[in-house]
Amino acid sequence: MSITYFEDKRVFSLDTAGTTYQMQIGKGDYLVHLYYGERLEGTAESVYTYNANIYCPEPMDLPPGTLSPNMLMLEYPASGTGDYRTPCIDVIFADGSRALDLRYSAHRIYSGKQPIEGMPSAFAGEKDIQVLEITLKDTVKDFYVTLVYSVSEDTDSITRSAYILNKEPEPVVLKSALSCCVDIYGGREYDLVRFMGRALMERELIRTPLTQGKLSSESVQGLSGHSSNPFIVMCGKNTDEKNGDCMGVMLIYSGNFTASAELEPHGNARVTAGIHPYGFSWRLDNGETFCTPEAVISYSSYGFTRLSDNFHRIIREHICRGSYSLKRRPVLLNSWEALIYDFDYDKLMSLADAASDCGIEMLVLDDGWFGKRNADDCSLGDWIPNEKKLGGTLANLAAGVNERGLKFGLWFEPEMISRDSDLYRAHPDWCLQCPGRTPAECRNQLVLDMSRPEVCEYLYNSISAVLSSANIEYVKWDMNRPLTDVYSAKLPPDRQGELYHRYVLGLYGLLDRLTSDFENVLFEGCASGGGRFDAGMLYYFPQIWCSDNSDAVDRLFIQYNTSFGYPMSAVSAHVSPAKSHQTERSMPLETRWITAMTGAFGYELNVTLLSPEERKEILRQTDFYREYADLFLKGRYFRLNDPNKNDVAAWEFISDNGETAFVGAVQRHFSPNNCPAVLRLSGLLSGACYDVSEAGRQILTGVTGDVLMKTGITVKYRREEYPATYFIITKEKSVNNE
């Protein structure tokens, strides 16, 4: 059993292969957190102490001096009754009161995790996952919160969500409804790791010691955003890749969010995550339920690498769906940096011919194929192919690409609308805009009101008509601006606070229909690059364009930081032109290839302009990628050298059986008279012997895994601009296996 209830102690224990999470129905029927850490034999209630503290209110239904809510380690704290830390829930009852005192009411344990209606969530697959539901009830009002926990034993992960039910005769308004809380003893001993940044430099790793007060990663842009990510890590002061304890919290959500760690005055910490309260309110009529997005938590006592491995597996195996979730994706060429808007049928066929010669497997036509779109100031919303520009129908274009041995894909930006579009002229009220105000434009576009069923129905019909009209096998789904003027003409004034969340629900509903109806299409997410790189989108898209910055050196940092929570199979990465469009930095083709091959691999350049030697080199690269694609897609991933601290950035993929490994290394800086960089490998079989080749040339034979992991391999410094190399490590076959 992965979930056990010890009735005599009123303790719940949630056990995975390597961890234990425990809570107790404590004094006064408060649901208190006991323990989260390494697998525990027994129960931890003996370490829990109840305190009534000076200047902390006490419940009137308990004897004086029993406890203060502000001192409790609570599983789902509420506001208004004596806990002054960050609450998970804040409500306004019909009488205007905002006090909520949640106590244990009932629980049940069962097998078979169910999806959350209308939202992405981790799925069980073929595994029999156990679920715990604990219902809390307010002491006065007929108001309930059911906490739902599911246990993924093999990934050392627990998912959490909350169902909030109003049985009061009058409506109740939610002002905050977070997904989870984990209270932690001794918070001063921890750091908080967040992944912040900006457009073109997403997910910068920020590690901050906890001091009294609150640290958060959050977005109020209507999407998870470039400047923050709904994934945080609490870790010990000395935790590194292989040592120390750490806990990750990841929200499966794509809208406004908050994920925070708060150190309270008495030294304990509270970690919470969920929908951001900014601009949020939700009316619950009698009998109605609100469900929060699901959060995934995981713990490692073996450093960041083990924690990352847990999240990589749960995303690959329990969040990503569809035919491409664990299937090799075709090597693609995107037309954007090759042609921008300047293309016609002949130019696209020339691009396809050159791509085919290079071993590329798919041509993706980016922006500019619809309406009168030859610049970014028109036609969004008019998803009608420009047959004059394309030299015929999309079916004809796709057939031409297919005849050259390539698959064909298209770019869309469905959530946006141009003022200069037939759609805007017909339905100006379909965009987000406040009465009496001219809505703000960003990148020459407005935002469609995705909370309106008729908008989502229009988009479904338009996109499905295009996808049905031709042999289209890939869709790049872009979103190029945040939300402003968040007001819907369809919602009454007292429900405008629901719009941010209803927008996300409308988007999820549309994506669910399209990805189900076109299950053989590979969908890729994008939001000006990595502006919506989250587990919610990965439920519908098995890969996301990691950043609009495809400069290989900058990508070393972006991809390194992204890997802490997300598998590299989800990271779209392309070889861009020799001179980067974003930074104007020039880099060798080998370096751009080795860096891009870290993720879902492709090209973003004009292959018709390459020399015969360069085309031959790309053919070699694509052949190499196909040979090792399964390793990159499903292998364990190790960060060997931090590019923030080392001249040489390096990473490793290794097969689950430990027999084959790939190591990539890029020299991002040259220091004269320096020693070679030493890369100590991971995940090899200690007693097995391995052969090592560098860039196709064998350099070592019969070296034990133990030696490679403890002494390592070396990367020599080169007097060049950003040189790169790679190693293949292969286990020698035993005589009996030959």
**Annotated catalytic, 614?**
yes
Residues 118, 189, single domain; the answer is yes
Please report, rounded to a whole number, the percentage of residues in the chain having pLDDT higher than 90: 95
**Which CATH number belongs to the domain containing residue 684 in this structure?**
2.60.40.1180
Residues 300, 160, single domain; the answer is yes
Note the pLDDT of residue 160: 98
Domain boundary among 599, 619, 634: 634
Q: Say if residue 691's pLDDT is above 80.
A: yes
Residues 528, 546, single domain; the answer is yes
| Tokens 């003022």 -> residue | 419
- 70-120 pLDDT, tens digit per residue, is 999 999 999 999 999 999 999 999 999 999 999 999 999 999 999 999 999
Residues 239, 96, single domain; the answer is yes
Q: Say if residue 735's pLDDT is above 60.
A: no
Residue 130 contacts by C-beta under 8 Å, 6 or more apart in sequence? 1, 2, 3, 109, 110, 111, 150, 151
Q: Say if residue 671's pLDDT is above 90.
A: no
- 38-65 pLDDT, tens digit per residue, is 999 999 998 888 888 888 999 999 999 9
Note the pLDDT of residue 317: 94
**Which CATH number belongs to the domain containing residue 523 in this structure?**
3.20.20.70
- 521-539 pLDDT, tens digit per residue, is 999 999 999 999 999 999 9
| Contact criterion met (CB below 8 Å) for 112 and 129 | yes
Residue 376 lies in a domain: yes
Note the pLDDT of residue 618: 98
Residue 524 lies in a domain: yes
| Contact criterion met (CB below 8 Å) for 292 and 275 | yes
Residue 325 lies in a domain: no
Note the pLDDT of residue 733: 86
Domain boundary among 588, 615, 634: 634
Domain containing 493 equals 332-634
Residue 326 lies in a domain: no
Note the pLDDT of residue 684: 98
- 447-490 pLDDT, tens digit per residue, is 999 999 999 999 999 999 999 999 999 999 999 999 999 999 99
* DSSP letter for each residue of 477-496: E---S---S---TTS-GGGG
Residue 256's identity, in one-letter code, is N
- 239-275 pLDDT, tens digit per residue, is 999 999 999 999 999 999 999 999 999 899 999 999 9
Burial bucket for residue 620 (CB in 10 Å: 0-12, 13-18, 19+): middle
Residues 579, 709, single domain; the answer is no
Q: Say if residue 649's pLDDT is above 50.
A: yes
97 forms bridges with which residues in the sheet?
Answer: none
In this structure, are strands 697-704 and 332-334 parallel, antiparallel, or unpaired?
unpaired
665-678 average pLDDT score: 88
List 101, 202, 264, 534, catalytic entry: 534
CA distance linking residue 23 with residue 31, whole number of Å: 7
Note the pLDDT of residue 244: 98
CA distance linking residue 620 with residue 114, whole number of Å: 46
Residue 327 lies in a domain: no
Write down the pTM of the prediction.
0.97
List 614, 642, 659, 691, catalytic entry: 614
- 304-327 pLDDT, tens digit per residue, is 999 999 999 999 999 999 999 999
- 178-227 pLDDT, tens digit per residue, is 999 999 999 999 999 999 999 999 999 999 999 999 999 999 999 999 99
CA distance linking residue 626 with residue 632, whole number of Å: 10
The model's confidence at residue 127, banded by pLDDT at 50, 70 and 90, is confident
Residue 164 lies in a domain: yes
| Contact criterion met (CB below 8 Å) for 722 and 666 | yes
Domain boundary among 634, 660, 676: 634
Residues 623, 665, single domain; the answer is no
Note the pLDDT of residue 738: 43
Tokens of 516: 């189900």
Residue 131 lies in a domain: yes
Q: Say if residue 151's pLDDT is above 80.
A: yes
Residues 427, 473, single domain; the answer is yes
Residues 568, 700, single domain; the answer is no
Note the pLDDT of residue 124: 87
328-338 average pLDDT score: 97
Note the pLDDT of residue 674: 81
| Kind and range of the H or E run holding 457 | helix 453-469
Q: Say if residue 737's pLDDT is above 70.
A: no
Residues 205, 272, single domain; the answer is yes
- 596-618 pLDDT, tens digit per residue, is 998 899 999 999 999 999 999 99
In this structure, are strands 257-263 and 446-447 parallel, antiparallel, or unpaired?
unpaired
- 387-406 pLDDT, tens digit per residue, is 999 999 999 999 999 999 99
Residue 323 lies in a domain: no
Alpha helix segments (H runs only) across 685-726 = 705-710
Residues 452, 494, single domain; the answer is yes
Residues 203, 338, single domain; the answer is no
Number of domains in the chain: 3
**Which CATH number belongs to the domain containing residue 164 in this structure?**
2.70.98.60
Residues 608, 698, single domain; the answer is no
The model's confidence at residue 706, banded by pLDDT at 50, 70 and 90, is very high
Which sign does the torsion angle of CA 398, 401, 404, 406 carry? negative
Note the pLDDT of residue 117: 96
Give 335's DSSP letter.
Answer: S
- 545-591 pLDDT, tens digit per residue, is 999 999 999 999 999 999 999 999 999 999 999 999 999 999 999 99
CA distances from 536 to 210, 664, 666 (A): 28, 29, 32
Note the pLDDT of residue 479: 98
